């Protein structure tokens, strides 16, 4: 994936049943460079994952991720969070344990069931810090035609994530956009600090994040190729797990899901969202575009 702001090159290999067993093996290697408004992030790394399928729905895995990281072009080199990482040969060695309980009827277009995913990690190298993440989703079919088509689906989703106090600026949480809170721009929800030289607020990310959303999906055409959605996203990202409730963001909206057979089961998502609760410094973006159902 070459580009001017983002370029990424990746090779993945996965065997879900090593030697016919319930053990899975995943290998990946990658290089990417991404230019953010605050800095440029360049990484060369790889990941090894060993998993085990306990039941058809329950899986667990252990993963190791190693990266060489270079942070450059800081918006304010005097900002302490940027000064701590710019111009250094940074190394990351992350060890992670993951579990997933997937009771959904379809991974792409779930209409019933639930998904619970969680992970804990410990990162070593240039910085040392723990991490944890919990993601829960539930789907209800409210109505369907006798043949099973035309389903109207109510979905609930929640996510909580935490990382240690020593987490560097490039590995903290930033929210905003289709994958987190629609109605805000990509990385537009974040704690900020005033740059010593620019005297402007700069997004520095947070160590604690919380997301919650509700969405109602309904058919627009008889063939289910076009569907509508009404939703409300909410959440926050803060420097710590304390004192976050008064900084909660909320954004209701609506959108369309367009299924293109040539593109497989993942539809095109077009959404419009309108923040009704936000914090000073947040950047808004009414329209979002994505390919896929699961955010």
Q: How far apart are CA 153 and CA 168, in angstroms?
A: 40
Identify whether the C-beta of residue 205 lies closer than 8 Å to the C-beta of residue 192: no
* H/E stretch holding 83: helix 80-83
pLDDT at 294: 56
Please calculate the CA angle 51-55-60 and round it to the nearest 5 degrees: 25
Nearest residue to 82 (alpha-carbon basis) of 174, 205, 165, 176 = 205
Domain-wise residue ranges, the chain: 6-291
pLDDT at 100: 97
Nearest residue to 282 (alpha-carbon basis) of 212, 235, 245 = 235
Q: How far apart are CA 278 and CA 125, in angstroms?
A: 36
What tens digit of pLDDT does each residue of 78-115 get?
A: 999 999 999 899 999 999 999 999 999 988 788 999 99
pLDDT at 149: 87
- How many CA within 13 A on the CB side of residue 36? 23
- Does the pTM surpass 0.85? The reply is yes
pLDDT at 25: 98
pLDDT at 292: 63
Q: How far apart are CA 199 and CA 143, in angstroms?
A: 55
pLDDT at 237: 95
pLDDT at 283: 96
Distance between first and last Cα of the chain:
21
Name residues whose C-beta falls within 8 Å of residue 186's C-beta, 6 or more positions apart in sequence.
176, 177, 285
User: Could you state, in chain order, the average pLDDT of each consecutive group of 10 residues for the chain (295 residues)?
Assistant: 92 96 97 95 98 96 98 96 95 98 89 97 97 97 90 96 96 94 96 93 95 96 92 94 83 93 80 96 94 62
DSSP letter at 267 equals P
Residue 57 φ then ψ, to 5°: -105, -20
Confirm or reject CATH 3.30.2130.10 for domain 6-291, answering yes or no.
Answer: no
pLDDT at 206: 95
């Amino acid at each position: 994936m070459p580009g001017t702001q983002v370029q990424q090159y990746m090779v993945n290999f996965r065997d879900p049943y090593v030697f016919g067993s319930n053990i899975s093996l995943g290998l990946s290697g990658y290089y990417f460079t991404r230019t953010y408004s605050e800095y440029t992030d360049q990484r060369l790394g790889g990941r090894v994952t060993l998993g085990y399928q306990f039941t058809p729905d329950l899986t667990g895995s252990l993963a190791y991720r190693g990266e060489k990281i270079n942070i450059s072009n800081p918006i304010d080199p005097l900002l302490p969070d940027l000064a701590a990482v710019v111009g250094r040969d940074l190394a990351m060695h992350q060890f992670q344990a993951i579990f997933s309980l997937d009771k959904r009827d379809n991974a792409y277009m779930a209409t019933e069931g639930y998904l619970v995913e969680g992970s804990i990690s410990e990162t070593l190298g240039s910085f040392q810090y723990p991490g944890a993440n919990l993601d829960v989703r539930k789907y209800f079919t409210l109505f369907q035609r006798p043949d099973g088509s035309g389903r109207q689906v109510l979905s609930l989703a929640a996510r909580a994530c935490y990382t240690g106090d020593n987490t560097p600026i490039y590995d903290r949480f930033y929210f905003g956009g289709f994958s987190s809170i629609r109605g805000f721009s990509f990385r537009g929800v974040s704690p900020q600090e005033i740059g010593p030289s620019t005297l402007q607020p700069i997004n520095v990310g947070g160590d604690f994040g919380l997301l919650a959303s509700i969405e109602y999906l309904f058919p627009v055409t008889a063939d289910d190729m076009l569907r509508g959605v009404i939703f409300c996203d909410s959440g926050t990202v803060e420097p710590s797990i304390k004192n976050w409730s008064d900084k909660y963001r909320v954004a209701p909206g609506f959108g369309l899901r367009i299924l293109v057979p040539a593109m497989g089961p993942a539809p095109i998502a077009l959404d419009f969202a309108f923040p009704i609760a936000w914090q000073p410094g947040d950047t808004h973006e009414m329209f979002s575009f994505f390919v896929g159902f699961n955010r």
